[in-house]
Chain A
Amino acid sequence: MINAIGRDIPEELLVNGKRVYQGKNALDGTYVQRVAPQTRRAERPVESKICTNIREACERCGAHDGMTVSFHHAFRNGDYTASMVMKILVEEMGLKDITIAATSLGDAHDLIAEYIEQGKVIGIQTSGIRGRVGETVSSGKLKSPAILRSHGGRPRAIQAGEVHIDIAFLAAASSDECGNASGMGGKSNCGSLGYAIGDSQAADHVVIITDTLVNFPNIPSSIACEDVDAVCVVDAIGDPAKIASKELRFTQDPRELMMAEAVADVIAATPYFVDGFSFQTGAGGPSLAANHFIEAHMRERGIHMGFALGGITGAVCSLQQKGLIDKLVDVQSFDLTAIKDLGENPNHVEISASQYANPANKGAYVNKLDFVVLGALEVDTDFNVNVVTGSDGILRGAPGGHPDTAAASKCSIVVTPLTRGRMPTVCEHVVTVTTPGDCVDVLVTEYGIAVNPRRSDIAKCLDESGIKHVDIEELKNRAYELVGRPDDLEWEDQVVAMVEARDGSLLDIVRKIKPLVL
């Protein structure tokens, strides 16, 4: 069945109430009944929930074949937990048919690729899918299609009962013996535990894994002891060097700086750029550098930012220290400066993924967002964005908060170089849609700016400010002129992944790539 953005979704996936994407805000105003976890009473006082090892915690939580487990990605590429736990479940306990419902998977999770190949892991639900896991899923070795959700779509699905988590294994920088757990106060801090909070409240069983045990009560904490079944203390929950760099440096690449400056000019030209505006950037080159140029515009106009949302970086913290931002609303702390700031600054506050971007609650923070600056692997002439498959058809990205922020913000800007090596970024049709075109307002490349025809109001603002913009077709043609028009990819029939829109409907699918043999 063809959905609202022209993608064909196979009928066999439209079961159990699954529908195709109908357009932005299609389910607005409708009601949803939330489900609740099954909870084991601890009526008789228990002094400590500490287990001797992770295995004991797994047994205590009734780990079994066919269960669904969850992990969070606040420790990014330095995460040890997911691999550690999976090794014990699969190799030590001999469990199989496991579904992993992680918030994101990346380069730290190559071991999981092994287990997929062995058929021990039969389901993957995640935002990010990269490295070996991405390649393995792309090659069709996972028993059922992987489900890719945005950061807002995942809590929606969990709350609606579409995903049932048996055991959530949540890594924490520090914890007490009853499970009050935090992203600070340990050997490897991650700052905000925004992606872990929801799971601690929704899973049937919750295991905290930490390398720093502190005295009870470890409060204030992100995760509450009332939700925790077991606590495990290990030698190391992660590699600090890979969790966070000291401070994400912003790029010196002149091309990226050019784009960042153009992004700031576009922002300043819109009517939303007024005192108290709100803003979110990513951590990529031009995205992060945009902060610097926006600061200049803010000073020129004498305005300040009401709040900065999302992944918080040291650059954003220093803007706040300069008095230019009121509040920092943090679902993920990207560098050590931000992590430290979260612990010390009362105006820098942690929120959960659901509070951040869930479309099925009474109003997530993205609903109040004025501007978001995002990256993209590909953008097509309908402004659909692909952040999950490379142009070779292999899974190597993550929707993240992209679809949520793009959908809800007043002005969403995608910034990307026109080509990356021999890959055209702007193309005729993206390989996979992860953010639909009706949510993307402006595209900035080093070759020019294109405004979505749906936003003639923004085009008018740019004209009034003397900012040149072109038809996106021109950018696509330029890209193809530079690197040649790529051939269409060829696919086998097998569906290896499904991309869910933030409201749970099906946006697109990814099939197994048929490699070209000359």
Chain B
Amino acid sequence: MQSSIEVAAMAGTLESSDAQVTVEPGTKGIELSIDSSVMNQYGRQIKACALETLERLGIQNGKVTVVDRGALDCTLKARIEAAVLRSEGVSESNIDWGGAIR
């Protein structure tokens, strides 16, 4: 697992209840930007969930953009994990289920 995003990648859709997550290279730590249809009510929780997921994946540097359409935490996590692992080219097999993915 890498600690910086090196390749841009994306996961998720803009459908209702989903989130579209894009990860790109960045050097100034984690630059997280969130745009959500439920920002006022869940903005903080979305941010916390995103940061926690990135930490578990060992990411310390990268630009992460979340366009949220009311996704639950389980969906956010799934989309962030898919985007990051796609970026690292290891999303198809041998995933650490129950470990880094939890």
Q: Are A487 and B41 in contact (CB under 8 A)?
A: yes
Q: Does A62 contact B (CB under 8 A)?
A: no
The answer, among A484, A486, A518, for a CB contact under 8 Å with B47, is A518
Chain B residues contacting A144 (CB-CB under 8 Å) are none
- Establish whether residues B70 and A516, one from each chain, have CB atoms under 8 Å apart when the complex forms: no
Complex interface: chain A residues within 8 A of B37 (CB)? 421
B93 within 8 A of A: no
List CB contacts (< 8 Å) of A476-518 with chain B.
482-484, 486-487, 489-490, 513, 515-516, 518
Residue contact A422 to B38, C-beta cutoff 8 Å: yes
Bound form: Cα–Cα A484–B68 in Å: 15
Given contacts A392-B38, A487-B42, contact A422 B17 (CB under 8 A): yes
B94 at interface, CB cutoff 8 A: no
Q: CB distance B39 to A489 under 8 Å?
A: no
- Contact across chains for A518 and B44 when beta carbons are under 8 A apart: yes
Chain B, interface size: which category? 10 to 19
A518 touches B34 (CB 8 A): yes
Interface string of B24-51 (1 = CB under 8 A from A): 0000000000100111111111010000
Name the one of B34, B44, B72 contacting A422, with C-beta atoms under 8 angstroms: B72
- When the two chains form their complex, are residues A516 and B17 in contact, meaning their CB atoms are under 8 A apart? no
CB atoms of B41 and A391 under 8 A apart: yes
Contact with B along A407-422 (1 / 0, CB 8 A): 0000000000000011
B39, B41, B70, B71: most-surrounded residue (chain A CB, <10 A): B41
A194: Cβ under 8 A from any B Cβ: no
Q: Is the Cβ of B73 less than 8 Å from the Cβ of A487?
A: no
Min CB–CB distance B31 → chain A (angstroms): 12
Chain A residue nearest to B41 in the complex (CB): A486
In the bound complex, how far is the Cα of B70 from the Cα of A484, in angstroms? 11
Which residues of A lie under 8 Å from residue B43 when comparing CB positions?
Answer: 487, 516, 518
User: With A421-B17, A422-B17, A422-B72 given, is the CB distance from A392 to B41 under 8 Å?
Assistant: yes
Min distance, Cβ A85 to any Cβ of chain B, angstroms: 34
Cβ 8 A contact of B45, one of A393, A423, A487, A513: A487
Q: Number of A residues whose C-beta is below 8 Å from B?
A: 17
- Judge whether B42 and A513 touch: CB under 8 Å: no
**Which residues of chain B are near A518, meaning CB under 8 Å?**
34, 43-44, 47
Neighbouring A residues of B38 by C-beta, 8 Å? 391-392, 421-423, 486
Contact (A484, B40) CB under 8 Å given A421-B16, A421-B70, A422-B71: no
User: CA A486 – CA B40 in complex, angstroms?
Assistant: 9
Q: Say yes or no: A516 contacts B45, CB within 8 Å.
A: no
Nearest CB of B to A347, in Å? 43
Chain B nearest CB, measured from A352 CB (Å): 39
Q: With A421-B16, A421-B17, A422-B17 given, is the CB distance from A516 to B71 under 8 Å?
A: no
Tell me which residues across on chain A come within 8 A of B42, comparing CB atoms.
422, 484, 486-487
Distance in Å: Cβ of A129 to nearest Cβ of chain B: 19
Which residue of chain A lies nearest to B44 when distances are taken between CB atoms in the complex?
Answer: A487
CA distance A422 to B19 in the complex (A): 12
Query: In the complex, are the beta carbons of A516 and B39 less than 8 A apart?
Result: yes
Task: Name the A residues within 8 Å of B39 (CB-CB).
Answer: 392, 515-516
**B17, A393: Cβ atoms under 8 Å?**
no
Query: In the complex the two chains form, is A516's CB within 8 Å of B72's CB?
Result: no
Distance in Å: Cβ of A428 to nearest Cβ of chain B: 12
Q: How far is the CB of A410 from chain B (nearest CB, A)?
A: 36
Q: Which of B72-91 contact A (CB under 8 A)?
A: 72-73
Most buried by A among B40, B42, B43, B70: B40
Complexed CA–CA distance, A422 and B68 (Å): 11
Residues of B within 8 A of A392 (CB): 38-41
Partner among A422, A489, A490, A513 whose Cβ is within 8 Å of the Cβ of B70: A422
Q: Which residues of B contact A482 (CB under 8 A)?
A: 72
Chain B residues with Cβ under 8 A from A422's Cβ? 17, 38, 41-42, 70-72
- Shortest Cβ distance from B38 into A: residue: A422
Contact of B17 with A484 in the complex, beta carbons under 8 Å: no
A384-425 interface code vs B (CB 8 A; 1 in, 0 out): 000000011100000000000000000000000000011100
Q: Please, could you name 6 A-B residue pairs with CB atoms under 8 Å apart, sorted by A?
A: A392-B38, A421-B17, A422-B41, A422-B71, A489-B41, A516-B43
- The 5 tightest CB contacts between A and B, nearest first, are A486-B41, A422-B70, A421-B70, A516-B43, A392-B40
- 19 additional contacts, CB 8 Å, given A486-B41, A487-B43? A392-B39, A392-B41, A421-B37, A422-B38, A422-B42, A422-B71, A422-B72, A423-B70, A484-B72, A484-B73, A487-B40, A487-B41, A515-B39, A515-B40, A516-B40, A516-B43, A518-B34, A518-B43, A518-B44
